[in-house]
Amino acid sequence: MQYPKSLIVVVGPTAVGKTAMAIALANHYRTAIISADSRQFYNEMSIGTAKPTAEELKQANHYFINSHSINDEYSAGDFEREALIKVSELFKSNDHVIVVGGSGLFVRALCEGLDDLPKAPDEVRAQLNESLEKDGLIALQERLRAVDPENYEFMDYDNPQRVVRALEVYEATGHPISYYQKNQKQCREFNIITIGLNTDRAMLYDRINQRVDLMMQQGLLEEVKSLAIHRNKPALLTVGYAELFDYLDGEISMEEAVARIKQNSRRYAKRQITWFKKYGNTTWFEPNQFEKVVEFIDHQVGQ
């Protein structure tokens, strides 16, 4: 069914050029951008999350960037509720709204809704968080891989919050989280057009490596030092932050930390591509194919 309003969702791996495409589309359709990046919500995290620059933020109105503090508990379900309200507001004056992000769970939350997962007892979550702090993320990742190997391939398993949540469900019910993910889409009264950006893998990996070098030049280490008091927050146990905390703890050299950020970013990009190829009706383009993207969107809306 065609609706009069359209949500244009730009997805793809890290560093591929999603921000530039989203801004170009927002300007073309004279509309605003909703960020669906699980770390760019946080005001305190900027360099390591590759937020749009101040100049880029001036080029189009952005929502859900710098919208929360790292001290706030903010879930994909929270984002779903708040983003749907914002989309409804924006549709009052726009026929199109742009969504951009590489966080598959948050994109899915907005476009399809989330499955109603069982709530684990507080003590189960507390035990898992204690294990995370004591034994590290790798130990929990191995537990998750053992209980849910099929779903593990598509998970953002470098995100400790999601690993803990998946294990919570298993520990509380005896079933893996994929058992409860029925993929029953909730009805959205707007069109959803999903644009995937991807490019040659060697070129993408080179862009990732260059981005990490730029982050270091921009002061990522200083940003990480400033967040040391919050280091056990799930958002800071992720790529770009966890490795530098290891450096600050004297566990690895700076050279090794930077190399690990690059490697883990490349691994994350590979999983993003896998997830979005599995997800929904994504149509793929090179990041420089703006005209083709617009032509495709207009054709979809005109059908």
Instruction: Quote the CA–CA distance of 285 and 120 in Å, as a whole number.
Output: 41
Q: Is 17 annotated as a binding residue?
A: yes
Instruction: Quote the CA–CA distance of 30 and 28 in Å, as a whole number.
Output: 6
In residues, how long is the chain? 303
CATH number, domain with residue 294: 3.40.50.300
Model's pTM, two decimal places? Answer: 0.85
Instruction: Quote the CA–CA distance of 73 and 62 in Å, as a whole number.
Output: 21
Residue 136, domain extent: 122-180
Instruction: Looking at the structure, tell me whether residues 291 and 258 fall in a common domain.
Output: yes
Instruction: Quote the CA–CA distance of 241 and 228 in Å, as a whole number.
Output: 10
- 3-state secondary structure at position 181: coil
Domain boundary among 154, 180, 206: 180
Among 189, 244, 148, 213, CA closest to 157: 148
Burial class (CB in 10 A: 0-12, 13-18, 19+), 134: exposed
Instruction: Looking at the structure, tell me whether residues 130 and 241 fall in a common domain.
Output: no
Q: Does the residue 1 lie in any domain?
A: no
Instruction: Looking at the structure, tell me whether residues 270 and 158 fall in a common domain.
Output: no
Domain boundary among 143, 163, 180: 180
Instruction: Looking at the structure, tell me whether residues 93 and 200 fall in a common domain.
Output: yes
Q: Is 160 annotated as a binding residue?
A: no
Q: Does the residue 139 lie in any domain?
A: yes
Instruction: Looking at the structure, tell me whether residues 194 and 231 fall in a common domain.
Output: yes
Tens of each residue's pLDDT in the chain, 303 residues: 678 999 999 999 999 999 999 999 999 999 999 999 999 999 999 999 999 999 999 999 999 999 999 998 888 889 999 999 999 999 999 999 999 998 888 998 999 887 777 777 888 888 888 888 788 888 888 888 888 887 777 676 777 877 888 888 888 888 887 776 655 668 899 999 999 999 999 999 999 999 999 999 999 999 999 999 998 888 898 899 999 999 999 999 999 999 999 999 999 999 899 888 887 689 999 999 999 999 999 999 875
| 292: amino acid identity, one letter | K
Domain boundary among 152, 180, 208: 180
Instruction: Looking at the structure, tell me whether residues 175 and 244 fall in a common domain.
Output: no
Instruction: Looking at the structure, tell me whether residues 106 and 219 fall in a common domain.
Output: yes
Q: Is 31 annotated as a binding residue?
A: no
Structural domains counted in the chain: 2
pLDDT at 178: 75
Contacts with 190 (C-beta within 8 Å, 6 or more apart), sequence order: 3, 5, 6, 7, 87, 91
pLDDT at 198: 97
CATH number, domain with residue 133: 1.10.20.140
Q: Is 19 annotated as a binding residue?
A: yes
Q: Is 113 annotated as a binding residue?
A: no
pLDDT at 182: 58
pLDDT at 303: 56
Q: Is 14 annotated as a binding residue?
A: yes
pLDDT at 240: 96
Instruction: Looking at the structure, tell me whether residues 32 and 17 fall in a common domain.
Output: yes
Looking at the DSSP bridge assignments, the partners of residue 42 are: 68
Instruction: Quote the CA–CA distance of 35 and 16 in Å, as a whole number.
Output: 16
Q: Does the residue 47 lie in any domain?
A: yes
8 Å CB contact between 289 and 16: no
Q: Does the residue 155 lie in any domain?
A: yes
